[in-house]
Amino acid sequence: MATAYLSHQDCHRHDMGAGHPECPQRLDAIEDWLISHGMDAAISRHEAPRVDLHDLERAHAAVYVAEMKALLEGLEQAAAQGDPQAVKALDPDTYANGFTWAAALRAAGAAVRATDLVLDGEAENAFCAVRPPGHHATRDQAMGFCFFNNVAVAARHALDVRGLDRVAVVDFDVHHGNGTEDILAGDDRVLMVSIFQDPLYPYSGSEPKGSNMLNVPVPPYTRGAEVREMIESLWMPALERFKPQMIFVSAGFDAHREDELAQLGLVEADYEWITLRIMEVAARYAKGRIVSCLEGGYHLGALARSVGVHLRTLAGV
């Protein structure tokens, strides 16, 4: 079975303005790498559907989903009528335009569809090349470039709709996945393990919100060898004890040493190693089932290379 690769052109159209690091060119860089390295033979491409709002409500407050729908559909309608001011700031870093509603629905929809593809045996694992990212979106707040929490939505779909008993969330983005923790803390069907730079936005994670959260804050300028050691000694025993039936990955590549939004020192070989360790756990307990969703990564060259090695490892090529 090939690795499923999910994306959609709508995810390119969400644009937070000139100079914003979370830009449409991120997906272009990944696509260019796939083409130049002949990866289509190793992946099966799928267009991301729009998520059902009931799926969103398994992770987010219904009133929040309704508020986002009203706001973002309003921007969509204004943009369709030619309004050049159809832009809304939700916080100092997070902006919506007339295409954000469609992109956010496709991003969450990709994660849910990927979950079904993997659980139905149509793919061994999956990667969702989508934006906006999701792991900062809390149960009732958009923040940190994120509107809906794609991984949390997919994890709850696997549990509440598809009937799994235990899933793990692995987050290696350089920023703490505060939104995922907010949604999933206290749900003993989920183990979340994460590693992130501290101190750094969103300035959280040093005190876990639940016993099912294993947060590993690391200081700036930590290199790959030290990160690997922490993962080996902290993540791996917890994942082995938990025995997840499926693993969801918040795949942020902004801990790369070339990424200017943080100060960690990972390189492509580290992302390959992390992916292999995740796959080893999945092979033992989850029939190899992994759904990985793009989060951060803002240096275009480093992002493309890092996603490339992540995908190659997932696909076994």
Q: What is the pLDDT of residues 98-107, one digit of tens each?
A: 999 999 999 9
| Cβ pair 176, 204 in contact under 8 A | yes
Q: Where are the strands (E) in 131-171, listed by range?
A: 167-171
What's the average model confidence in pLDDT over 267-290? 98
Residue from 233, 247, 234, 235 nearest 289 by CA: 247
Q: Per-residue pLDDT tens for 12-21? A: 999 999 999 9
CB 114 within 8 Å of CB 45? no
pLDDT at 85: 82
Per-residue pLDDT for 118 more than 80? yes
Q: What is the mean pLDDT of the chain?
A: 97
Q: What is the pLDDT of residues 183-201, one digit of tens each?
A: 999 999 999 999 999 999 9
Label residue 163 exposed, middle or buried (CB < 10 Å: 0-12, 13-18, 19+): exposed
Give the homologous superfamily in CATH for domain 3-315.
Answer: Histone deacetylase domain (3.40.800.20)
Average confidence (pLDDT) over 60-81: 97
CA triplet 291, 297, 301: central angle to 5 degrees? 110
- Dist CA 200 CA 174 (whole Å): 8
Neighbour tally for 35: CB within 10 Å: 10
Task: Decide: 2 and 42 in contact? Cβ < 8 Å.
Answer: yes
Say how far apart CA 180 and CA 225 lie, in whole Å.
26
Q: What local confidence, expressed as pLDDT, does residue 267 receive?
A: 98
Phi-psi group of 183: left, alpha or beta (phi > 0 → left; psi -120 to 50 → alpha; rest → beta): alpha
* Owner of token pair 């492509």: 268
Buried b (16+ CB within 10 A) or exposed e, 106-118: bbbbbbbbbbbbb
* Residue 204, pLDDT above cutoff 80: yes
Strand order in the sheet with 43-47: 43-47, 3-7, 125-128, 290-294, 247-251, 167-171, 190-197, 213-218
The two structure tokens encoding residue 265: 């020192």
pLDDT surpasses 80 at 1: no
Give the catalytic positions in this structure. Answer: 136
State residue 84's pLDDT score.
78
6 has pLDDT over 80: yes
- The percentage of residues in the chain with a pLDDT greater than 70, rounded to a whole number, is 100
Q: DSSP state, 143?
A: B
- Which pTM value belongs to this model? 0.98
**171 φ, ψ to 5°?**
-125, 110
Q: Quick one: DSSP state of residue 50? A: P
